[in-house]
Structure 1
Amino acid sequence: MLSVLLSRLRVEEKALLEELDRRHVAYEVLDTRTLAFRLDELDLPYQGALCREVSHHRAHYAARLLEHAGVPVVNSAAAIALCGDKLLTTLALRRAGLPTPRTLVTLTAEAAIGELPSFGYPAVVKPVVGSWGRLAARLSDDEAAQGVLEHRAALPGAHQHITYIQQFVGRPGRDIRGLVAGEEVLGAVYRTATHWRTNTARDAVTSLCPVDADLEKILLDTAAAVGPGVYGIDVLEDADGALYVNEVNHTPEFHGAAEVLGTGLADRYVNYVLDQVKS
């Protein structure tokens, strides 16, 4: 039996569960908000697990516990830990020689204020853990940076004070979301928006993005850098058409892409999961 970890039943989770039903795959939905593990009695009846939990910390720890019990998880705890932290993701991508936006990291918000004039504007500050563009801010000058970073310094929790800043890549009003399962590119879409944050959660419009050899190589090399799994990879284009890997999502939303690429995405996603848990 397969276990499916989640706490929110979004369009993607519904599509994946419907695909499992269509194939008559036995599964149990595990709500991570109510899970309890007895570490002295970790004898679980699952052949594998599909993790679709949106909370980074719950996903990571649930995957760790299942793996400790001998249950293979897609995506793995290691992949969740890496992709869920923007700094760790960037380090892995740079180690693999992939193009990423210029990045400034300080361990306090105050330290970033003095570095930004030489780093340059515009820039984008992001929380190291977070999704859907939440708590991200575009910094246009010293005055804007000081206001935003002073606010970050006042936030509770030392993790909020780790300051991750990227150059703002002057993209053409869009970014690219590529979907990868293992060593296969499932497709790519443009996400176009009037706002500088081009998330589909923020009403970006998707359209077909042709996957040429350069984009395919970047997507597959990115997936290889973070390890086996199913990923949504965000790629930025600058004004000259150069590509930069921005972020890697270990629980990718794909309903916008499915509207453009077709409903077969859930089928191919499930193919990969079942192949992994049977191996």
Structure 2
Amino acid sequence: MGRVRPVAVLASRVRYEEKRLFAALERREVPYVHIDTRRFSAELDGGPRAGGGVPAYAAALNREISLSRGMYASLLLEARGVPTVNRSEVIEVCGDKLRTSLALERAGIPVPRTAVALTPEAGAEAAEKLGFPVVIKPLAGSWGRLVAAVHDRAGAETVLEHRAALPSPQQHIVYLQELVDKPGRDIRVIVAGDEVIGATYRYGDGGWRTNAALGARSEPCPLTPELTEPALAAARAVGGGVLGVDLIEGPDGPLVLEVNHTVEFRGLQEAHGEAVDVADAIVTHVLSAAEQAGAIG
């Protein structure tokens, strides 16, 4: 019998989540290697290979926080036959809010009213047509950065004037969503494959944003079909994998805000305690992907 190939865990920053994942792998006696993507490389005509054309890893769990490094790392590993979670095309879709919105639209999933303008100058007009108040978001990014709620055209023009001065052409694309009157919270649902691992309410500090990175408080949220069905549908719409689906409670039911491809789960884990083991569920999904690919038996 040959050597058991390890699972590769890709991460340039080892946070609470990665430590939990390492511990879950160790509990299950699954060999793994931690790969810092800042030091990762692969020759296009060969590696990474274990020898004899066999992929070096049984599977890869991509936890890289850099969108570009994460996407290309998955792309390179997939090209070498390594089952990768999440796949490069999933990262590409989830890493771009417009691509995500289009995928959700094609799947018929309820979302807030959304508009896109291709220049900051056109953005104020698009915001007025959408109807104030609106939220202006960057196409790429997380943790609530560069997100602004504006309540009139003057406010939109001020924000967009700053956006126009940013050096990245992508920042000049204006992505707008209606500001939904939510009950001071949003909902994070974590999905692994076809399984919903758990959900939490996230409460802000009195502002309209409820990002964990901005200090939001997490509390357990019961799993009901009203939540699990759109969350699973949203995960399937972007290509599946291990994903964090963010929803808000609209007047006519839950609306999907976005889908996160490198989901942070500390808030959910601490809210649920021992009742849920997010890291173990993620490891189960990664091993299932490896088994389906014939990498382990």
Q: Which band: TM-score by shorter chain?
A: over 0.9
Q: Kindly indicate whether residue 179 of structure 2 is the aligned counterpart of residue 168 of structure 1.
A: yes
Q: Kindly indicate whether residue 28 of structure 2 is the aligned counterpart of residue 16 of structure 1.
A: no
- Ranges in structure 2 where 5+ consecutive residues have no aligned partner: 1-5, 50-55, 293-297
CA distance in 1, matches of 2:42, 2:291: 24
Which residue pairs with 2:3 in the alignment? none
- Partner SS, residue 252 of structure 1: coil
- Alignment equivalent of 1:216, drawn from 218, 228, 244: 228
CA distance in 1, matches of 2:35, 2:10: 5
Q: Deviations over 1:118-146 (max 9, x none)?
A: 21111111111101111111111111100
CA distance in 1, matches of 2:229, 2:8: 32
- Alignment equivalent of 1:231, drawn from 222, 243, 246: 243
CA distance in 2, matches of 1:65, 1:245: 31
Q: Kindly indicate whether residue 282 of structure 2 is the aligned counterpart of residue 277 of structure 1.
A: no
Q: Kindly indicate whether residue 281 of structure 2 is the aligned counterpart of residue 268 of structure 1.
A: yes
More displaced 10-residue stretch of structure 1: 259-268 or 89-98: 259-268
Q: Kindly indicate whether residue 262 of structure 2 is the aligned counterpart of residue 257 of structure 1.
A: no
In the TM superposition, residue 241 of structure 1 has moved relative to its aligned partner by 5.5
Q: Deviations over 1:229-257 (max 9, x none)?
A: 0111000112x352100000011111110
The one-letter amino acid of 1:135's match is: L
Q: Deviations over 1:47-87 (max 9, x none)?
A: 11000001111100110011111111001111111111111
What's the C-alpha RMSD, in Å, of the aligned pairs?
1.1
- Alignment equivalent of 1:152, drawn from 158, 163, 174: 163
TM-score by structure 1 length?
Answer: 0.97
- Partner SS, residue 196 of structure 1: coil
- Partner SS, residue 247 of structure 1: strand
Count of residues in correspondence between the two structures: 278
CA distance in 2, matches of 1:119, 1:145: 12
More displaced 10-residue stretch of structure 1: 220-229 or 35-44: 35-44
Dislocated runs of 4+, deviation >4 Å:
none
CA distance in 1, matches of 2:141, 2:70: 13
- Ranges in structure 1 where 5+ consecutive residues have no aligned partner: none
More displaced 10-residue stretch of structure 1: 252-261 or 39-48: 39-48
Which residue pairs with 2:71 in the alignment? 60
Which residue pairs with 1:205 in the alignment? 217
Residues 7, 43 of structure 1: alpha-carbon distance in 2 compared, 3 angstrom cutoff: closer
Q: Kindly indicate whether residue 121 of structure 2 is the aligned counterpart of residue 116 of structure 1.
A: no
The one-letter amino acid of 1:19's match is: A
Which residue pairs with 2:30 in the alignment? 25
What percent of counterpart residues are identical? 49
More displaced 10-residue stretch of structure 1: 262-271 or 6-15: 262-271
The one-letter amino acid of 1:131's match is: S
CA distance in 1, matches of 2:130, 2:24: 48
- Partner SS, residue 262 of structure 1: helix
